[in-house]
Structure 1
Amino acid sequence: MSRGFVKEDDQEEIPIVPPRADLPDGVVNYVTRTGIDQLLSEKQELNSEKENLEIADENERRIVLNYINAKLQLLNNRIATAKIVDLNMHPQNEIRFGALITLKIGSQTKLQQYQIVGVDEADIAKGKISFISPIAILLLNKKVGEKAVLKLAKEDRVFEIIEIVY
């Protein structure tokens, strides 16, 4: 039937689902074991939410289900493309994906710790940076004692690698 013969009130509202963390085309979706566990836990929570919906209004229920299904579709795609990185296979003296790095930044006396993780696991507040972030790219393949320089508009920021742990 043509959409011209459908009442305006009957038109399905298309849910707007925020995209997942950006992963550029052609870039492998690397994840840590913790990262894949988080994705699978998120999937379980969404499926549970879907199964336990208690919405009486059928139209509202359909909208909520569409939203959950759209989120699940994005999540399932991310899980299907995930490549778990075995951290034990890395040279333990170089910064690679999954490394927990202790850094001295510039002239700061307080040391900072960051872990290089997958895009979905990244959370700067928890010290987890995405492997595609400029800082992670700058630090990759460096060793303890080496320095990496990030060129900023007003200054250069120097990162000295103090410790690498997997």
Structure 2
Amino acid sequence: MPVAEDTERLAQGYAVLGRCWRQPDEALVEAINSGTLSTVVPDVESVTVKDLRIEHTRLFVGPGGPPCPPYESVYRDGEGDARGNVLGPSTGAVVTWYQAHGLGLDRDWSDLPDHVATELEFVSHLAADGSEDLREQFLDEHPRQWMRPFLDGVRAETHESFYAGLADATEDALF
């Protein structure tokens, strides 16, 4: 396979993973139920938008502090075993990466810059640009620093096979 196709496939893979970590919608559920995502997240039972949204909210939003906050700053900016606050120093470091590559933050977008999906989408951007060294540097400085505990938490807490499989697929892509 030509290098350009490898680069495109890699970029698309990270983009798909990023999309899967966002709030579920009809298009995602259709892709899951049709088997379109079976190469990314295999062995997933049929799901409904309602069930995935309930689980997504329980895992990542709350109420009362979600068990698996999807933000780098929570995992990296705390002291000792205590979780950090969102929008901590690691968030600023991620924003610096985005700005250095000509990417800004959409004021209408509600997710924070260090959200798992946003970081994976940025990795997709770096892969599409063919910036292998920069991609690896960003992965080493950011996602690989915090995602294992996050993904372990998702696997331990989820009631949906989709999120357990997504955690496995994300870990396979990153490590």
Q: Which has the higher helix share?
A: 2
Q: Does TM-score exceed 0.5, indicating one fold? A: no
TMscore range, shorter length: under 0.3
TM-score by length of 2: 0.22
Q: Could you state the TM-score of these two structures normalised by the residue count of structure 1?
A: 0.23
